[in-house]
């Protein structure tokens, strides 16, 4: 019997970015899209083109970059949204418009304030209009988990007739249990068989996103929508890595199904997104968590040493994590060893980018005795995803004591000019950021500040992530790496400002509708 391919629809760049604090600049989104393509996802939902000029710009650039995956943009069932989506993905080699409207009684009555027949007309209009831009159109019954199945059949008939080829059934609020999702998907997949593909998009509010997705596959879904590390609104979405590895590991149950995912790219993809968003998977997160392959119990350690499969159902190498890689880099390592390490970590850099990364590596190597894989991942990710450097930290001097007033003197370069100024603050970090504000002329509001150690030891890299708002526009994220936490903090703040300047005028949403959930 030939195996059926389950399409993996990744929405990390759209639904995942709706996680609080997960906003990304255009360069970061492009790098993530390139990695998702290497991972082998079938469809990349690159964003919501009508949301803002910044989203449109990122989708347009991703559409021109990606060749092996379908590039998709989300659109409400509104002409302006569909047009923006169509224009943003116009240059993609393979492209899709994903349009949606709510179909549950509670959404139609209280949010849309529309009658069912009006909803159907709006849906049909959106699909027909989308077909003027692309052949591949997906339609979502938002809040399908609480919709009447008879109405979903009626609207599915109408949109399929209008040209939709995929019908998505989102459990928008993560309400349904696996057996309920299974029953809904089975009935709908039998109803549309031969006319459209049934897809599912499960949120994780009850911790059932992955279980619901797997139950959907068994009952006829042939596309699963998910995110890396389970990112997404509220409690997140079904995690791509868990769905894919469940299908792979439990081949006895899912023997008829296969995905196009290159599982060895799972761990590199997870780390890239964690570094960019600053949102680390919980330590005990399945598949990609820090402790996913850690065995502390003596009994477990003894069993694993004797035979790995006693306590490991997945080999770390299956997801691209080589725990036994003994090539440790240091200040005497050459370009060839560095390039080889990057290749093993899943990075492919052009000569110019490789040279910049190598220069930063050598600077770090002068300060650290040994450099681990996570140091290199953080260093290269930070280099690859930086926005244009309008401002750059040249030097930082600090003064603080238990009795005195914290102060900071900062020198910043802009083009060929260097400016130095100082400020006092309620604390050292506050003084640093105020000094930067004085020099640059931009006053930022610090919404979030996080610092973590990239690796272990006294000489570990500090990875600082900040979330800053400038000119009352939506907050942007900045990252800073350095052994000195204060300098890493200054770089993160400047990074946020540079990201803001790269997107200035592109951040404000064109609408205030808060219903973009799907």
pLDDT for res 357: 84
- Beta sheet of 462-470, edge-to-edge order: 444-453, 462-470, 476-482
Phi, psi (rounded to 5 degrees) for 119: -65, -45
Calpha distance 406→426 (Å, rounded): 7
Q: What is the helix (H) or strand (E) element at residue 172, kind and residue range?
A: none
Q: Residue 311: what pLDDT? A: 59
Residue-wise DSSP of 374-423? HHHHHHHHHHHTPPP-SSEEEEEEEE--SSS--EEEEEEEETTEEEEEEE
- Phi and psi angles of residue 411, each rounded to the nearest 5 degrees, phi first: -110, 130
The binding site comprises 15, 201, 203, 237
322 and 344 in contact (C-beta within 8 Å)? Answer: yes
* pLDDT the model gives residue 113: 95
Residue 256 pLDDT: 95
In the chain, how many H helices and how many E strands?
A: 16, 16
pLDDT of residue 305: 47
* DSSP-H helix ranges across 330-372: 335-344, 351-367
Q: What sign results for the dihedral spanned by CA atoms 48, 288, 386, 469?
A: positive
pLDDT value of residue 303: 46
pLDDT value of position 2: 82
Rounded Cα gap, residues 233 and 212, in angstroms: 17
Q: What is the full per-residue pLDDT of the chain (518 aa) written as tens digits? A: 689 999 999 999 999 887 766 678 888 899 999 999 999 999 999 999 999 888 999 999 999 999 999 999 999 999 999 999 999 999 999 999 999 999 999 999 999 999 999 999 999 999 999 999 999 999 999 999 999 999 999 999 999 999 999 999 999 999 999 999 999 999 999 999 999 999 999 999 999 999 999 999 999 999 999 999 999 989 999 999 999 999 999 999 999 999 999 999 999 999 999 988 888 999 999 999 988 886 444 443 444 445 465 657 899 999 988 765 545 677 677 888 888 888 777 777 777 778 888 888 888 888 777 777 878 888 877 777 777 889 999 999 998 767 778 999 999 999 999 999 999 998 999 999 999 999 999 999 999 999 988 877 777 888 999 999 998 888 888 999 888 999 999 999 999 999 899 876 666 654 445 456 77
> How many Cβ atoms sit within 10 Å of the Cβ of residue 161?
12
Judge contact between 466 and 432, C-beta under 8 A: no
Tokens of 129: 């209009």
What is the chain's Cα-based Rg?
A: 24
Binding residues for Mn(2+): 15, 201, 203, 237
Q: In what order do the strands lie in the sheet with 392-399?
A: 392-399, 407-414, 417-424
Question: What pLDDT was estimated at residue 7?
Answer: 98
Q: How much is the pLDDT for 506?
A: 63
Q: Which residue has the tokens 């997705």?
A: 213
Strands (E), 156-235: 166-171, 197-202, 223-226
Structural tokens at position 115: 């009658």
Q: Can you tell me the distance from the alpha carbon of 449 to that of 467, in angstroms, rounded to the nearest whole number?
A: 7
The Cα–Cα gap between 270 and 281 comes to 8
d(CA 154, CA 116): 10
pLDDT of 307 reads 47
Q: What is the pLDDT of residue 387?
A: 73
For 185, list phi and psi in degrees, rounded to 5.
Answer: -65, -40
Strand, helix or coil at 470? strand
d(CA 366, CA 459): 11
């Amino acid at each position: 019997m030939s195996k059926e391919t389950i399409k993996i629809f990744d929405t990390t760049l759209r639904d995942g970015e709706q996680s609080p604090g997960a906003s990304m600049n255009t360069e970061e989104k492009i790098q993530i899209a390139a990695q998702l393509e290497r991972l082998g996802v079938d469809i990349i939902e690159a964003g919501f083109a009508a949301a803002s000029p910044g989203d449109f710009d990122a989708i347009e650039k991703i559409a021109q970059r990606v060749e092996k995956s379908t590039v998709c943009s989300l659109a409400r069932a509104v002409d302006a949204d569909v047009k923006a989506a169509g224009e943003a993905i116009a240059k993609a080699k393979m492209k899709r418009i994903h349009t949606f409207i709510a179909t549950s009684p509670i959404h139609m009555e209280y949010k849309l304030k529309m009658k069912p027949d009006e909803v159907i007309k709006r849906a049909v209009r959106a699909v027909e209009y989308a077909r003027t831009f692309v052949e591949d159109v997906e339609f979502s019954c938002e809040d399908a988990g609480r919709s009447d199945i008879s109405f979903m059949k009626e609207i599915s008939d109408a949109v399929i007739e209008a040209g939709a080829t995929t019908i998505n059934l989102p459990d928008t609020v993560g309400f349904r249990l696996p057996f309920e999702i299974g029953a809904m998907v089975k009935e709908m997949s039998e109803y549309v068989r031969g006319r459209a593909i049934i897809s599912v998009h499960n949120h994780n509010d009850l911790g059932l996103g992955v279980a619901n997705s797997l139950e959907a596959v068994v009952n006829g879904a042939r596309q699963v929508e998910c995110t890396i590390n389970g990112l997404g609104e509220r409690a997140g979405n079904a995690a791509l890595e868990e769905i894919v590895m469940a299908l792979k590991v439990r081949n006895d149950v899912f023997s008829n199904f296969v995905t196009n995912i290159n599982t060895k790219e799972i761990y590199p993809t997870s780390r890239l997104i964690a570094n960019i968003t600053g949102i680390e998977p919980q330590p005990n997160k399945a598949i990609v968590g820090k402790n996913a392959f850690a065995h502390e119990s003596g009994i477990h350690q003894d069993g694993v040493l004797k035979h790995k499969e006693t306590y490991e159902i997945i080999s770390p190498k299956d997801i691209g994590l080589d725990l036994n890689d003994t090539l440790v880099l240091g200040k005497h390592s050459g370009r060839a060893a560095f390039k080889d390490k990057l290749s093993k970590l899943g990075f492919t850099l052009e000569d110019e980018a490789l040279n910049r990364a190598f220069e930063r590596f050598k600077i770090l190597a002068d300060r650290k005795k040994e450099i681990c894989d996570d140091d290199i991942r953080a260093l290269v990710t930070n280099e690859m995803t930086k926005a244009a450097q309008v401002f750059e930290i040249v030097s930082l001097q600090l003064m603080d004591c238990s009795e005195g007033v914290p102060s900071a003197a900062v020198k910043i370069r802009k083009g060929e000019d260097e400016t130095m100024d100082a400020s006092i603050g309620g604390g050292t970090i506050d003084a640093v950021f105020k000094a930067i504000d004085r020099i640059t002329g931009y006053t930022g509001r610090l919404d979030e500040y996080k610092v973590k150690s990239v690796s272990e030891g006294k000489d570990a890299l500090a990875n600082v992530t900040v979330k800053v708002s400038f000119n009352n526009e939506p907050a942007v994220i900045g990252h800073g790496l350095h052994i000195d936490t204060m300098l890493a903090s200054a770089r993160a703040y400047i990074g946020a400002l540079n990201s803001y300047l790269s997107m200035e005028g592109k951040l404000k949403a064109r609408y205030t509708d808060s219903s973009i959930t799907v």
